[in-house]
Structures are given as structure tokens and as C-alpha cells.
Amino acid sequence: MATTLLVQSRFFNNSNYTPENAPLKQLNIPMTRNPGVETRSRSSNRTRLRKNPSKPSKTVIEPGTLTLTRALQSLVDSGSMDGAVSLFDKINCLDTYIWNVMIRGFTNNGLFREAVDFYRRMERGGFRADNFTYPFVIKACGGLLWSSGGEMVHAKLFKCGLDWDVYVCNSLIVMYMKVGCVECAERVFDEMPVRDLVSWNSMISGYHIVGDGMSSLMYFKEMQKHGMRHDRFSVISSLGASSSERCLKSGKEIHCQAIKSRLEMDVMVQTSLIDMYSKCGNVEYADRVFCRIFSRNVVAWNAMIGGYVLNAHFFESFTCLKKMQEDDKLSPDAITMINLLPSCAQLGALMEGKSIHGYAIRKGFLSHLVVETALVDMYGRCGELKMAECIFESMTEKNLVSWNAMIAAYTQNGQNKKALKLFQDLWSKSHEPLIPDAITFASVLPAYAEIATLGEGRQIHALISKLGLVSNTFISNSIVYMYAKCGDLHIARKLFDGILCKDVISWNVIIMAYAIHGLAKISIQLFNEMREKGVNPNGSTFVSLLSSCSISGMVDEGWDYFNSMRRDYGIEPGIEHYGCMIDLLGRGGNLDQAKHFIEEMSLLPTAKIWGSLLTASRKNNDIVSAEFAARHILSFEHDNTGCYVLLSNMYAEAGRWEDVERIKGLMEKEGLEKTVSCSVVEKNGKAHQFINQDSSPNKLHMIYTVSDILSRKIGEDIYVHTVTKFRPQNLLRKRSKSPPNHSVRLAISFGLISTNIGDPVLVRNNTRICEDCHNAAKKISEITQRELIVGDPKVFHHFRNGHCSCGDYW
């Protein structure tokens, strides 16, 4: 029982599948695909071999008998190279044939280094390598990705006149393709006096290996023109090329050829067909081929399961797993899990994911680099960040994909600081230096957008340019959004204008950029421009657009777009659209309408929806509605700090001190602490951080002085707040917590004295700005005649001449 992969039965409606009646153990677990295990066994072989390279033996076996070579061959064929080496050492009359057996043995067992070593020893010993030796030596060079070694051997071939041997040339083609030297392979192929089927197949598979599927398909056609009949290898390779080129048409053609040449019932051909049809998006055809397979093996099942996952048929992928275990009594292997884990991630099926994890542990599939990476990804997407971290840290070997998965797990779960930290570790702490790729940046840029300073944003932008990844539209979109979120809307726009291939996301991002800066008119303008350019809006476009209307208080326009999305574009409103609408209604001050709207919604309200109602209640000073919203939020997220704090502030303003205490008690019980407000200002590219009533460094004295002067200048009496907002008996204690000492104010003061007169002051804040600071900032912008830009987690406030771009609703 313990060896069977349990998948919880909740996916299978009328299933009686339980752990108890699950198929029993199948013990043949192929481990050969486990790179970790393979490497280790190889290296242990290597060390053992090196310890006793050629131990002189007393028992000298007389040559001349066939039995000796036969024995050596059977050792080599069974993979016991240790035994072969010790037998070899006892032979005192060597010949080329015996050397060839050894070299073949090493190469076929993946011991390429040893194969090359033996080849060298052979030559030094005065034995002539022949046409049988070279194919193995060349294959070993290919296996080591050692192109210069391969070239040296190639040069030798001319001397001994073996450069025309078909077998040798075919090996050369494969070797050159493997090391990526397409031109060399082509030259060998072109200059061959005689080409056989393997020569053609090697070209077809070689082009597929280097990622040139089109050439691969071309050679498949070309070989028929040359009167060369294809075999299963030609079909398998060219089907692989069709898959990687997503070319259903050529795939179908090859399928027809395979039927004509009676290859369609070959399991490997069928598996390749399943893969091709799935990758070309036609999972129905894949299923049809699968049903025709006579005897299905794990590879075929895996291809089918992978096909379902690739085409987002997640439930079917699990049904398939169940059938594989029950009908064919086959055990899932590492690849089955690698296929299924993304399915769990997509379905949010944490139980199934954990079950796969447990199975992997029991079967000894850990550590398997790809399985572990898939687990990190799955746990990250299911919100189990701790588990993702735990697996990532335990991994003995990590590649770039693993790092990318962990970085993405952090950003997806809002752990932006950790994401940035890990991204930096990628340079310093990864085993061999890893160069981040497009996926890395796609994963880390959202974290930069949330918490980076403009200077840090510029740095990452420079790095991306240096690595030549700016032409990637996906990355460009993220950069545009990052600049907008870091406060530089102008650069964001400039970069957006420069994107050559704008996709719908590019437009969504720029509409959102103007939204968060409170410029809904431009958002709408861009939306119209997008439609004129023939780009079809999607659901996210309307999230951007509705957000823009709600942030800028354009209630009527918001309603128009909300109604239009279904009517004119056939897009059903999702939960995010409803959220925007509640913000919009709250902004209009109509709380009852907002509540009614939530009731009427076709979707179940989430914590975020109630959060919008809470914000609206706060803005409209409606404690009853706020309590109503808060109750719902806390039923989803009992640890929602923001919800407690907001409610507590409302009670405090109403003078309901018992309730303030009650909330305080609740928070203590939950072990929650109020988020420390933190504001960041940059000076000469260096970030300066401030927290409420910051008292750390001495230089702050001057900033407090500036803050006090500003406070008095704008006619703000610090005692006024304390009297109206806080309990009289706590007046002295609360004085230090009064708004003039809030982090935003310190940051603004610092910004004003450390930037050039006339330049705007940019502040980033991790919490929403309070009403007093908002009022103060408006006045400060007026008396100093400076633009103050304060970004909070949702919007940017542009304070200019005593007004704020948010229209006093945020």
C-alpha cells in the first residue's frame, strides 16, 4: 500500500478509490533517469577504478582463448566495468579487439572520461585504433561535450584514412550536433561518400537536439527524395521536431507516413505521436493514439498524463494516473510526478501535492532535482511557503529553474523582501555562477515593483539590458509596471512607447500605471487607442480600467465600462472586477448599494471584497458597516492585521475606548502586532528609511526640526490631534505618536532638504497614509511649492499646490 501513489478521491465523483483498495506495490522503479543517482554511481566507479589502475597480478592468464574475451564482453555488457577492468589487467597479451571491448564498455555505461583515458593508453601502448574504436571514442567526446577533443580525433581520422567510414562519420555527425557545432556536422554529412539511413537519422535528430526543428523536418522530407526509406528512428525524431515547432500539419503528415510504413503500432512511435499531438494542442488525437496502444508502458502513460496537464485538462491527468495504477498495475515514476505536480499547483490541490511528495519520499525519488523543483513550485503556488522553503534549502543540487521557482514562490506569496534577497543570493551563493534568465526576471520584477526604490529599479533595468533581455515583451511589460510602481510614470510611458511588439498585457500595464497615479483620463485614452490598434481587451484590461475609474473617482465611467465588458466584449466579470466596483460605490458614498452589490454578485465574496467594503465604511465613517465587513474578513483571515488596526482606529476616533481595548486584546491573543509604518526616500541613489517616531541616528535631529517648522507653518497644532483623537490621560504618551512624527512626514522633510529646489520629492510607504498626514502633505506642497509624490501599497498621491491627485479618497 505504502508504495502506491495516493490521490485523494475527491476528484473522482463516483469513485470508490480509497487508499485501502489502491493497487499494491510495483517494485520496478526505473532510477536511471535520476541524474543525481547516476552521477554519484559514476563517480564512485571512477574513484574505485583510479585507485587500482593497473595492478600487477601474479596470475597471468594465457591469451588465445576465446573464453577470456567472451568473459570480458559479458562483464562489459552487464555494466560491471570494475570487474572488466580487473580482468583486463590480468590479460598479458592485448590486441586492438580487447581494447575496443573496454572502450565500448565505458562509453555504453556513460563513463566517457574513462573511455577517453583508455583510448589514450591504447595509443601509448602502440595499438592502432581502428574503424571499430573511433565510433566509441567520438561518442565519449560527445558525451563529455568536449568539442576540442572531438575535433582532435576527427583530425586523426584523415591520417589513418578512416574519414570515409560510414559508422565513423555517423558518430561524428551526432557528436558535432551534441556539442552544438551544426556546421561541422553538415560538412561531415555533405562530404560523406556514402550515406546510409543512420546518417540521415542522425541529421534529423541532430537538428532536433540543437532546436532547429524546421531543418529536421526538411531533412526528413529530403531523405525520401533521395530514395531513402525511413524507419522508426526517423519517425520518432521528426515527430519530436514537429512538437517543438508546434507544427500539427507536419506531425499529421508523418503520422500518415508511419501508417503507410506499418510503424504506427510501434510503442515508441505511438508515444512520440501522443507527445506531438499534445504539444500541438490536440489532446483528443493524443488520446486516440493512446487508446490504440497494445501494451502501455510507463513512458506512454507519462506522455498521456503530460499531455493532459499541458492542455490544462487537470482532472483527466489524475484520472489517467488512477487508471495507470489500477488497469495496468504500473507504478508512477519520477516523470509521472513531474507531470502531475503542476496539475496540483493549477488546481490548488494541496492534498494531492502532499500525497505525491510523500510518495516521492517513500520511493526514494528525492533527491531528484526536477522532482524537487516541481515540489517547490507546487507548494509555492498552493501558498505553502514554508514547505517550499524547506525543500529548496534541503536540495543538494540546484539549477536556475529551482532558483526561479523559489523566487516566484516568494513573490506569489507577497514575501517581496525574501524574493529580492534570494535573487541577490543567486549571484553569490549558487554553486556555480548562474546567469539569471527571462524567467528569473519575470519572477523577481513584481517584487521590485512592490518594494524597490527607483534607484534599485534602474539597476535591475540596467542588468536586464546588459543581458540582452529587454526585447522580451513579457519582461518589458514588467519593467514598465515596475517603474510606474516605483514612482516614475514618465519613464514607464517612455518604455511602453518603445515596446515594438505590444501585446494585450503591455496595454493593461500602462493603463494600470496611469490608474495608480490617479490619471484615469489618460487610462481611458489609452484604452481607446488600444482598441483602435485592433488589440482585443481581456479581463485584466477591465481590472486596470475599473481600478482607474475608482481611484480617480469617475463613478459613471466605471459603471459604463462594467456594463460594457459583458455586453460588448463577452467578458464575464470576475471577483477582481467586483472588487473595483465596490471601491467605486464606496467612493460614491453609497454603502448600502455596495452591500447590496455584494449580495447580488454571482461569485462568492472573498476577503478582498469585504476589505473594499471596510475601506468604504471607514471613509464614510460607518462603524456598523465596518464591523459587518470586518467580521467577514476575519472569518477568512483571522490574522488580518490591517483589518484590526483599521477598526481600532475607527473606534478611537469615535471615542469608544473599551472597543479599542477589546481589539487590542484580540490582536494580542492572535499574536499580531501593528505593522510598523515605514517610508523610504532616496538621496544620491541611496535609500533612507524612516519609521514612525524614528529615533535612531543623530542626523534625525535636523529632520525633526524641519518637520516641526513645517508643522507650524501649515498651522498644525500637534495638541489638536491628541485632544480629538486620543484619550486625555494618554495625552503625553500619545504626543510622540502624533502625526507630525509619522514616518511619511520625516521622509518628506528629509526629501525636501536633500533634493534640488523645484524637483519633486518621492516617498514610498508600506502602509496607507493617514488623514492628518494627507492634509499636511497638501499644505506642505502649497507652502514649499514642491511636488510631493507619496506612494502607498495601492496608489500614488501627487500633492501639488495644496491638492492631491487622489481627490481625497484612498
Binding region for DNA (CB under 7 A) out of 232-240, 320-328, 686-694, 789-797: 232-240
Smallest gap, in angstroms, from Cβ of residue 445 to DNA?
24
Q: Which of 11, 118, 139, 457 binds DNA (CB under 7 A)?
A: 139
Please name which of 341, 268, 352, 807 lies closest in space to residue 589, comparing C-alpha atoms.
807
164 scored as a contact of DNA (CB under 7 A): no
Q: Give 219's contacts (C-beta < 8 A, 6+ positions apart).
A: 200, 203, 204, 207
Please name which of 299, 244, 306 lies closest in space to residue 266, comparing C-alpha atoms.
299
Q: Which of 5, 81, 184, 236 binds DNA (CB under 7 A)?
A: 236
Binding region for DNA (CB under 7 A) out of 294-302, 445-453, 656-664, 760-768: 294-302
Residue bearing cell 524597490: 452
Q: Which is nearer to DNA, 206 or 586 (CB)?
A: 206
231 scored as a contact of DNA (CB under 7 A): yes
326 scored as a contact of DNA (CB under 7 A): no
Determine the 3-state secondary structure of 688 from DSSP: strand
With beta carbons less than 8 A apart as the criterion, state whether 420 and 451 touch: yes
For the segment 720-779, give every residue that binds DNA (CB under 7 A): none
For the segment 350-369, give every residue that binds DNA (CB under 7 A): 368-369
97 scored as a contact of DNA (CB under 7 A): yes
Smallest gap, in angstroms, from Cβ of residue 123 to DNA?
14
DSSP letter for 680, please.
E
275 scored as a contact of DNA (CB under 7 A): yes
Residue 682, φ and ψ in degrees, nearest 5: -105, 140
Residue 784, φ and ψ in degrees, nearest 5: -90, -10
Q: Which is nearer to DNA, 173 or 512 (CB)?
A: 173
271 scored as a contact of DNA (CB under 7 A): yes
Q: Which is nearer to DNA, 175 or 660 (CB)?
A: 175
With beta carbons less than 8 A apart as the criterion, state whether 646 and 618 touch: yes
Q: How far is CA 565 from the centre of its chain?
A: 31
Binding region for DNA (CB under 7 A) out of 39-47, 297-305, 580-588, 778-786: 297-305
Q: Which of 84, 174, 391, 776 binds DNA (CB under 7 A)?
A: 174
With beta carbons less than 8 A apart as the criterion, state whether 426 and 402 touch: no
C-alpha cell at 723: 485632544
Q: Which is nearer to DNA, 268 or 607 (CB)?
A: 268
300 scored as a contact of DNA (CB under 7 A): yes
Smallest gap, in angstroms, from Cβ of residue 96 to DNA?
5
Strands of the sheet containing 686-691, edge to edge, are 686-691, 678-683, 761-765, 788-791, 796-800, 803-804
Residue bearing cell 575496443: 100
Q: Which of 132, 164, 474, 704 binds DNA (CB under 7 A)?
A: 132
Q: How crowded is residue 641: how many other Cβ atoms within 10 Å of its Cβ?
A: 14
Q: Which is nearer to DNA, 275 or 792 (CB)?
A: 275
CA dist., res. 663 & res. 248, Å (int)? 62
412 scored as a contact of DNA (CB under 7 A): no
For the segment 460-479, give every residue that binds DNA (CB under 7 A): none
CA dist., res. 279 & res. 18, Å (int)? 33
313 scored as a contact of DNA (CB under 7 A): no
Q: Which is nearer to DNA, 142 or 751 (CB)?
A: 142
> Per residue, what are the HEC states of 342-364?
HHHHHHCCHHHHHHHHHHHHHCC
Q: How many residues bind DNA (CB under 7 A)?
A: 58
Q: Which is nearer to DNA, 276 or 449 (CB)?
A: 276
With beta carbons less than 8 A apart as the criterion, state whether 88 and 98 touch: yes
Cα of first residue to Cα of last residue in the chain, in angstroms, is: 57
Smallest gap, in angstroms, from Cβ of residue 260 to DNA?
19
319 scored as a contact of DNA (CB under 7 A): no
DSSP letter for 61, please.
B
Q: Which of 82, 186, 196, 653 binds DNA (CB under 7 A)?
A: 196
CA dist., res. 582 & res. 593, Å (int)? 9
**Residues shown for the chain:** 810
96 scored as a contact of DNA (CB under 7 A): yes
Please name which of 569, 513, 498, 500 lies closest in space to residue 544, comparing C-alpha atoms.
513
Binding mask of the shown chain, residues 48 to 67, with x at each position contacting DNA by CB under 7 A: ------------------x-
Q: Which of 338, 444, 647, 804 binds DNA (CB under 7 A)?
A: 338
Please name which of 558, 625, 568 lies closest in space to residue 598, comparing C-alpha atoms.
625
297 scored as a contact of DNA (CB under 7 A): yes
Bridge-based pairing of strands 678-683 and 761-765 is antiparallel
Q: Is 263 exposed, middle or buried (0-12, 13-18, 19+ CB in 10 A)?
A: buried
Q: Which is nearer to DNA, 38 or 661 (CB)?
A: 38
240 scored as a contact of DNA (CB under 7 A): yes
Q: Which residues bind DNA (CB under 7 A)?
A: 33, 35, 66, 69, 96-97, 100, 104, 108, 130-136, 139, 165-168, 170-171, 174, 196-199, 201-202, 205, 231-233, 236-237, 240, 243, 267-268, 271-272, 275, 297-300, 302-303, 306, 333-335, 338-339, 368-370
